[in-house]
Amino acid sequence: MNTVSSLLDDSWRERYRRISALNIRSSIYDVTNQCNLRCRGCFFYSSREHEAASEEMDLQKWHEFVGNEKARGVNLAILIGGEPTLHLDRVAAFYQTMPTYCATNGQIKVPRDRFPDMMVGISLWGDEEDEKVLRGKNTFAVSSKNYEGDPYTYYLYTITPKQLGRIGQVIRKIDDAGLKVHLQLLTNDEQVDGYSWTEEKMRDVRLEMDEMLECYPQTVISCKYYHEIITTGKMMGRSFGWSECPSVTELLDSRNPRPKRLIRFTRWASDLKTQHRCCTSATRDCGTCKDGAAHMSWVMVNKREHLKSAKDLQNWIEVYEMFAKLYRFIPW
Ligand code: SF4
Ligand code: SF4
């Protein structure tokens, strides 16, 4: 039987040792139901999750809640919304207690004197043209000024089918702003015309993502195995979907048999009581889900499957490293 030691040489063994010491336990929190944009295809609004619960307004309750989450074993808080920067006091309750990542549209700058090393991920849905169609404005013009050169910020670039052949232009602008970028794919939750994927487009976007990684290795935080997994939805002959997804809230996970999953993972609504089904939306068809974090986690929780060969295990390590870099558990 293959083991980690038998498959890896010294340098890969060292990389493996570094990530296996991390023991990341993440959960996701809706900081607010409000947002200063309304993007077409936003899973939060299109699934009406903003109406699932009313926001907890008592700041003291947020502090108590975060303390309980820490005691529950969570060591990475992923803040989403709505737009978390509309409620910085709530963000601070997390940041003061545990490693925290804040997903934002970048229109409001996180004050660095108050949150010096908080990881910030700015959503970007394409170039100026796409952003205007899908989000109503060129968000990059504002977010890139707000965060230029910030060492704790990267763009979470959601590639749409319309971006094929034009991804490089966007990456170059991000590189020019002195920022990093991670790539994921649009799930067309609101069926906007022209924004759905076909198999052919998936093949093309995979090649383009690989090319970007080769052209901008210092800027793009990614790896080719992730590109393969997210564009094909296949891993070791298995297909991604409800029966495989690792990012389902633990208490709501009634699947039988239960797949390998994120331990203690929960996605909380902003009343701090309601739990959502998963890291995206309860109304999304899992068969079309292209959520990047769920695909990454799918690889990460299936280490044993990757003990088939040295290459498989190296692929697994690269995905794990990518995840750890995105949340700054290891340096870029
Ligand atoms: S900025 Fe984010 S939360 Fe706000 S509408 Fe757009 S996708 Fe949704
Ligand atoms: S929508 Fe995506 S993230 Fe949610 S359960 Fe389905 S596959 Fe998983």
Q: What is the mean pLDDT of residues 202-223?
A: 98
Nearest-angstrom CA–CA distance, 156 and 170: 12
Distance 30 CA to ligand 1 centre (A): 12
Domain ranges in the chain are: 4-326
Residue percentage of the chain with pLDDT more than 70? 100
Going by C-beta distance under 8 Å and a sequence separation of 6 or more, which residues neighbour residue 124? 106, 131, 139, 140, 143, 155, 156, 157, 158, 170, 174
> Is 216's C-beta closer than 6 angstroms to any atom of ligand 2?
no
Nearest to 284 by CA among 158, 184, 189: 189
Using the atom order of ligand 1, give the atom closest to the CA of residue 135.
Answer: 6
Local confidence band at 277 (pLDDT 50, 70, 90 cut-offs): very high
* Residue 126 token pair: 């394409």
The closest-lying atom of ligand 2 relative to the alpha carbon of residue 289 is 2
Closest residue to atom 8 of ligand 2, CA basis: 245
Residue 108 Cβ inside 6 Å of ligand 1? The answer reads: no
Neighbours of 291 (CB within 10 A): 23
**327: pLDDT confidence band, cut at 50, 70 and 90?**
very high
Q: What is the mean pLDDT of the chain?
A: 96
Label residue 244 left, alpha or beta by phi (over 0 means left) and psi (-120 to 50 means alpha): alpha
Q: What is the pLDDT of residue 41?
A: 84
Q: What is the pLDDT confidence band of residue 127, given thresholds at 50, 70 and 90?
A: very high
Closest ligand relative to 32 C-alpha: 1
Looking at residue 191, its pLDDT comes to 87
- What pLDDT, in 10s, does the model give residues 11-68? 999 999 999 999 999 999 999 999 999 999 899 998 999 999 999 999 999 999 999 9
Question: How much of the chain exceeds pLDDT 90, in percent?
Answer: 94
pLDDT greater than 90 at residue 189: no
Q: Is the CB of 253 under 6 A from ligand 2?
A: no
- The residue nearest atom 5 of ligand 1, judged by CA position, is 38
Which CATH number applies to 4-326: 3.20.20, 1.10.20, 3.30.70, 2.60.40?
3.20.20
Query: 17 C-alpha to center of ligand 1: Å?
Result: 37
